């Protein structure tokens, strides 16, 4: 049998910086755990970058997928399918009643739809203001919207009309607003940028700014939504509603799906021919998403997420205090947390954690992020945190 890593190097474009010596080849998963080709077990605190919201192979998701696959795998959006319609209903009723949904396959596609809608809503207004350190996707529009120059530099010239303000700084956003501004797009919790949480006052003020200037407010909840913060939707922590809401990652429980939810009257802006997605609203992906929403939207489930989130926040705070020579600060919300380090050792810590049976995520050189499954048990969370702290002791 040929070596899978050798085949990968030969046939797959190298866009993920995999190292054959350090990168695992995962073969199966169950709950909060995964196994490699040598059958070594790992606790997964990365969760497919927040995609595996219910861990690996949750039985309800597997059952929903298997049932739908045996009935209808795909059909053109020229036709109705019930999973798509019922999922849209569930999304609307759980987020912004009276809104409507557009389905794509990823967070980037959901954000692309939001950008197009915002530009069409007010003809002549085309500018989108986003936050520095943000991440909104890798299509040309969402890449341009991303407030991190390192991602944009190689692809200039970029799409015109995007500006970047300081996160949590209303004056910085207000200074960029002019008569051509169509929307402000922000992540309530910046994930890829380093896990920065929006301040209460900022969320209220940016909503007021958008209302005053007649511009749309877009919340990108691709990573921080779907229960990740302890609420089903992150914006519910601030009681500030957006005009457009985007979601993806955890929505499909592992299958590719993205959605833009548009409140009235904005949901009527896009008309037939304005936007489309061949695979958007695929019945199998929608069936999986319905199973996810049925579980994550349950009040008792979310209460347990909040409890585990408090445990994670407390332990990260204690770690930051006990290892102050190594750790600059702990930050995050619920089950999306990060430690910022004083030294550029994040990748080495990630590597050591993997060796000890724990998967975490290094963001750049000095930030470690964790995104455990929402249904991780208290015992599993404690076990992973004990491994993590043990690794940090060797770097302190």
CATH among 3.40.50.620, 3.90.1150.10, 3.40.50.300, 3.30.1330.10 for 4-57+300-393: 3.90.1150.10
Q: How confident is the model at residue 23 (pLDDT cuts 50, 70, 90)?
A: confident
- The length of the chain is 396
- pLDDT at site 123: 92
Other C-beta atoms closer than 10 Å to the C-beta of 241 total 16
Helix (H) or strand (E) holding 68: helix 59-69
* pLDDT of 179 higher than 60: yes
Nearest one of 317, 277, 307 to 374, comparing CA atoms: 307
* pLDDT of 1 higher than 60: no
Q: Distance (Å, rounded) from C-alpha 24 to C-alpha 117?
A: 40
Tens of pLDDT, residue by residue over 91-120, are 999 999 999 999 999 999 999 999 999 999
- Both tokens of 337, joined, read 């947390």
Tens of pLDDT, residue by residue over 30-66, are 999 999 999 999 999 999 999 999 999 999 999 999 9
Query: Residue 362: phi, psi to the nearest 5?
Result: -85, 125
Q: How far is CA 287 from CA 52, 76, 94, 224, 256, in A?
A: 16, 16, 17, 22, 12
- pLDDT at site 396: 78
CATH among 3.40.50.720, 1.10.357.10, 3.40.50.2300, 3.40.640.10 for 60-296: 3.40.640.10
Query: What's the order of all strands across the beta sheet hosting 26-30?
Result: 26-30, 33-36, 41-44, 358-359
Q: How far is CA 193 from CA 169, 338, 362, in A?
A: 16, 11, 11
Mean pLDDT of 252-262: 98
* 4-57+300-393 and 60-296 share one fold: no
Domain edges within the chain? 4-57+300-393, 60-296
Mean pLDDT of 318-334: 96
Q: Which residue has the higher pLDDT, 19 or 394?
A: 394
Q: Are strands 327-333 and 258-262 parallel, antiparallel or unpaired?
A: unpaired
- Both tokens of 55, joined, read 């861990």
- Both tokens of 160, joined, read 């015109």
Q: Record the pTM.
A: 0.96
Q: Are strands 367-370 and 361-363 parallel, antiparallel or unpaired?
A: antiparallel
């Amino acid at each position: 049998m040929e070596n899978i890593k050798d085949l990968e190097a030969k046939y797959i474009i190298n866009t993920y910086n995999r190292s054959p010596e350090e990168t695992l080849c995962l073969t199966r998963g169950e709950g909060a755990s995964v196994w490699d080709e040598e059958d070594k077990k790992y606790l997964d605190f990365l969760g497919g970058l927040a995609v595996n919201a219910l861990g690996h192979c949750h039985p309800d998701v597997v059952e929903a997928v298997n049932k739908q696959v045996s009935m209808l795998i795909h059909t053109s959006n020229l036709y109705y399918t019930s999973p798509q319609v019922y999922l849209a209903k569930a999304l609307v009723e759980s987020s912004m009643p009276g809104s409507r949904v557009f389905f794509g396959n990823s967070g980037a596609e959901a954000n692309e739809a939001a950008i197009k809608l915002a530009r069409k809503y007010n003809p002549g207004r085309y500018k989108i203001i986003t936050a520095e350190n943000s991440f909104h996707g890798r299509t040309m529009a969402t890449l341009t919207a991303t407030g991190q120059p390192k991602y944009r530099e190689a692809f200039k010239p970029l799409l015109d009309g995007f500006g970047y303000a300081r996160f949590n700084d209303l004056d910085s956003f207000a200074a960029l607003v002019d008569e051509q501004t169509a929307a402000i797009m922000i992540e309530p919790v910046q994930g890829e940028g380093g896990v920065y949480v929006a301040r209460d006052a900022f969320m209220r003020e940016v909503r007021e700014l958008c209302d005053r200037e007649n511009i749309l407010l877009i919340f990108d909840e691709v990573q921080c939504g779907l229960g990740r913060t302890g609420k089903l939707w992150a914006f519910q922590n601030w009681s500030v509603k957006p005009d457009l809401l985007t979601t993806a990652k955890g929505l499909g429980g592992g299958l590719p799906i993205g959605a833009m939810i548009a409140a009235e009257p904005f949901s009527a802006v896009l008309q037939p021919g304005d936007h489309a997605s061949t695979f958007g609203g695929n019945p199998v992906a929608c069936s999986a998403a319905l199973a996810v929403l049925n579980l994550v939207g349950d009040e008792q489930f979310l209460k347990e997420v909040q409890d585990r989130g408090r445990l994670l926040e407390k332990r990260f705070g204690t770690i930051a205090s006990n290892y102050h020579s190594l750790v600059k600060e702990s930050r995050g919300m619920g089950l999306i947390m990060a430690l910022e380090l004083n030294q550029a050792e994040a990748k080495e810590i990630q590597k050591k954690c993997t060796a000890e049976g724990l998967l975490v995520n290094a963001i750049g050189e000095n930030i470690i992020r964790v995104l455990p499954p929402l249904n991780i048990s208290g015992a599993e969370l404690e076990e992973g945190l004990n491994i993590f702290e043990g690794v940090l002791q060797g770097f302190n």
